[in-house]
Structures are given as C-alpha cells and as structure tokens.
Amino acid sequence: MSQQPSAAPAPSPTSAVATVAKRRDWWRDAVIYQVYPRSFADSNGDGMGDLEGVRSRLPYLRDLGVDAVWLSPFYASPQADAGYDVADYRAVDPMFGNLLDADALIREARELGLRIIVDLVPNHSSDQHEWFKRAVAEGSGSPLRDRYHFRPGKGENGELPPNDWESIFGGPAWTRVADGDWYLHLFAPEQPDFNWEHPAVGDEFRSILRFWLDMGVDGFRIDVAHGLVKAEGLPDLGSHEQLKLLGNDVMPFFDQDGVHEIYRQWRLILDEYSGERIFVAEAWTPTVERTANYVRPDELHQAFNFQYLGTAWDAEELRQVIDRTLESMRPVGAPATWVLSNHDVTRHATRFANPPGLGTQIRTAGDRALGLRRARAATLLMLALPGSAYVYQGEELGLPDVVDLPDEVRQDPAYFRGAGQDGFRDGCRVPIPWTREGSSYGFGDGGSWLPQPAGWGELSVEAQTGVPGSTLELYRRALAVRRSRSDLGAGDSVEWLKAPEGVLAFRRGEFVCVANTTGESVTTPAYGRVLLASGEVTETNDGEAKLPADTTVWFTTA
C-alpha cells in the first residue's frame, strides 16, 4: 500500500513546548530556527522587517515545533553589510525598533516556551562605531588605533598595503585613511577588524555579553568566531586564489589557536547565569576536527557544521561527513549540528537542483521540482541525525533562491566588488510570503525591501497550512515526531544498515531512516511502520518498501 508524507499521529506542539522549556541540556538536540529580521515580518509597513514583526509571528514558530529562535543582527548599524557592521552593540537600530521591542520579544518568547539566541559580531565593528570614528579623527599615533589593526603602508611613501591580504568580499583587505595609515578589514571597508590583543576589546565584549544576558537572552551565535585572532606579525599569504566567503582554507587570519582563550573567558561569564544559556560558533575551519576545538567542555556549546552544509546530495559523501562529524564531536562531548541553509548560502531547494556547488541557479520548472524533492528528502535525513539542527526561515515553505533580482535592487556588498563573491546572498534573503495575496504576500503593508517574485504567494504559509503533503506540513510533522521520540535528537552515533548503492540507511533505537539519493526508485526492507516520508512510499506484501527517487522515509520498529 502507499504511504503519504503525513502517515503518523503527532503530539500537540503547544503541549510539547512547555516540557522542552524545562528540560536540561536542551541545546543538545534543539531545533533552532534562524530569523533574518529584515525579511521575516514588517509591522509598520516601511518595507523592512522588524522586531515587532518577529514578535507577532512567534506563535507560528511555536506551532512549527522549534525549540529556539536565532535572530540575525538588529543592532544600531549603517547597514553596509545588513547589520553585520555594528555601530552600537547595546542599541537596536531604529529600522528594527528599540530596546523595549527587544525586551517584549524576549519575554513573549519565554512565555511561549521558545528561547532567544542573538547574533554577536566580535570580529569587526562598523566604521561608524565611536571607537573607530575617534581613532580616525585623532590621527596617526592615537591610542584608540591600537583597538583596531592600523599599520603604516609599504613602498617609498607608504602607498602600498601593509601586506597582501584580500577581503573576503574581494579586493584588498586594507583601506588607507587621510593621514596615510592603513586599517584592516577582512570584509567590507566599512567593517574594520578589532585587535583582540588589546585588553579594552576583551573588556568591552565581556560587558556586552552581560548586557544581553541581563536582558534575558538564552545565548549568542558568534559571527566569524574563527577570525578574532590574527597570526603574529600579520604575515603575507603569498600566492593563492581569491578568498571565498564560505571556505575552509588555512589562513593566517582564521582559526588561530589564540581564539580559544577568549572563549574560555566568555564561558565563565555565561556559566554565572541560570537557565542553560549557550554559545554557538560560526567557525569556518579546514576540518571538522578543528571545529571540535571550539566546543571543548570549557569553551562553546555548539559550532555550525559547514562541512555538512557544503556536501552534495550524494550518499557516499554524506555518510563520510556524518561519520567524521560524529567521531570529531564525541571526544569533546559536544553535540553535532546539522544545517542545510542560512542567510549566507544559496537555499538548498535551489542548490540541490543541479549540484554540486553553493551557487547553482534554477533555470527551469523541472529544476525547481527536482531541487524541492531533494530538499525535502535532505531535511528528513538531517532531522534524523543525532544532535541539534538549524532551520533557516522559509525553508519550511520550500522557498528557492530568487535568482533574477535586478542589479539596481541588490544590496549584498560582495556583489559590488568585482574580484570577490557573485553577490548570491540577496537571493536567499528575499522576504518570506505569509499569505497568497497582498502587496508583499503578508510580509507587510508597504512592499518589501527586496522584490518578491510573481507566484510567491503560492508558497506562502497560508497556501500550505493544512494541505497534506505540503512542505510546511512535512516540517511540522517531522518536528513533532522528532520531539515525541526518545530515540531521536540527542546522541552521538548511528548504526549503519546495509543498503543499495546511493541509499543511506541507519538505525537509532527503534527508529530507522532510509534516504534514497539516486534519481531512480529503489527497493529496501520495510523496517516497520512508516512514521513519515518526503514522498510516496509503497510497501509490498513481502516486507519490502519501494522508495521513489530522492526520497527519505522514517520507520519505527516498535
């Protein structure tokens, strides 16, 4: 008989949330939902999402079944890089609201059983940060310049940069100020890097941590966690290819051992507070083994698994990265994390349409259907793995990247620096659709800061709610089943089962996950009752199950 994706009863998300909120070590198997505030919900009709908009949609996130919400930056900022250029770490940018709005959001989330994690940007500030403005104004030799990386230039008249480092966004990583000194910025020129060798920088960020912990946040996602410390002497790179935003190369400004002492100091602060607050590292490292260094017991709690995110929809590659991840995390006692999309990469519904590569684009309706089918299957595989999972806003709707944005509306700074990235990040940041109709499909009353494509409303929350087999209902049921089962979530191992080529099969207690990554249907053992499937699964009378191409199914042997 055929099994549809909504095959098993699931507990009420509302009742389950209350239980999760009291659970210890909640972060070991948490599902954390990333909100990109400017693209989530607009409460005042100015075309830009805001904190009040996020607060109004918290019940949706509770009912979706997530455990925590990670908010991308909403601090005071000139927005040269969508808020990752912070001018004041203790203020909310007026486009998003104010501190009272932040307080109301944190309080209401707690009442709904949701935890709030905020972004922290310690590698660099805005060039409009008070420290940097004064450092430039006071001229060469100002003590404030020691809080950043100011250096004299090379060449006869100092006309050349201090070294050959390049910005991740393309072009030199150095900009010269009027008095002749140069300052380091691994990202945009408006984002000068802090000098973490200066004690004032550490003092300031310990104070910032306490400010937001006192506000009641449950943790911090640390932006560029691998970049705070630079190699002594800032040595030249020598011959190399253009640096990429999402890369794992060994560099003298990334993944230096000195970062770990910073995080040991931070952990002492976090442990003073009740409620199991956590740190999550955005740490691009050459290997998962290096990533494990960030989550040793006296440092951070989680680190994003970018090796998994960058893996193609291929059974052998996936198995290798799953095994390496679990093996690397086991010695340090940290949970693995799994992620398929975020605000910096092409959405996986697009990426999987024509893998490999993080920048592939959907060209036909057939591409879109293929990408969505693989994305649904990849989601069930990810949610079956031991550890914590991250969901990027809109992926539960099956949203693709918007690939045909006009040049004049693009805002990704990487797009405007010809030697760097291709500016693909705008495509995954288009505001999400809530309703079938309206000027911005329910995002707000005043349009949206990036244009939404025609037909966006057919992917909306309204269009998918209650529709059997929709991607939204698949996510809702998967998260409910995951929460209801003790053999899902936390853990550090899987038992691999024999499977046809191109198929992954593993057992966790009474639970079995089978993922067909091939373009053909396959027959496998029916490991019990079907809990959930990303496509239609047919069970035969002789104890076998037929999985269509690019389909994942969950079984229970109980």
Angle at 209 between CA 203 and CA 212, to 5 degrees: 140
Q: Catalytic residue among 214, 241, 257, 272, which?
A: 272
**Eight-class DSSP state of 242:** P
Q: Which residues pair with 183 in a beta bridge?
A: 150, 175
Alpha-helix residue ranges (DSSP H) falling in 331-364: 348-351
Residues 6 or more apart in contact with residue 65 via CB below 8 angstroms? 13, 16, 31, 475, 476, 479, 480, 482, 483
Rounded CA-CA distance 5/472 in Å is 11
Q: Catalytic residue among 81, 166, 223, 282, which?
A: 223
Hey, is 363 helix, strand or coil? coil
In this structure, are residues 43 and 53 in contact, taking their beta carbons and an 8 Å threshold? yes
Is omega for the bond preceding 356 within 30 degrees of 0, making it cis? yes
Q: Which residues pair with 529 in a beta bridge?
A: 556
Would you call 289 a catalytic residue per the annotation? no
In this structure, are residues 317 and 239 in contact, taking their beta carbons and an 8 Å threshold? no
Identify the CA nearest to 39 among candidates 64, 8, 74, 67: 74
Residue type, 491: G
Residues 6 or more apart in contact with residue 9 via CB below 8 angstroms? none
Residues 6 or more apart in contact with residue 299 via CB below 8 angstroms? 260, 263, 264, 267, 279, 293
Residues 6 or more apart in contact with residue 118 via CB below 8 angstroms? 70, 71, 74, 212, 217, 219, 220, 221
Would you call 203 a catalytic residue per the annotation? no
495-496, strands of its sheet edge to edge: 495-496, 503-508, 511-516, 551-556, 529-533
Q: What residues act catalytically?
A: 223, 272
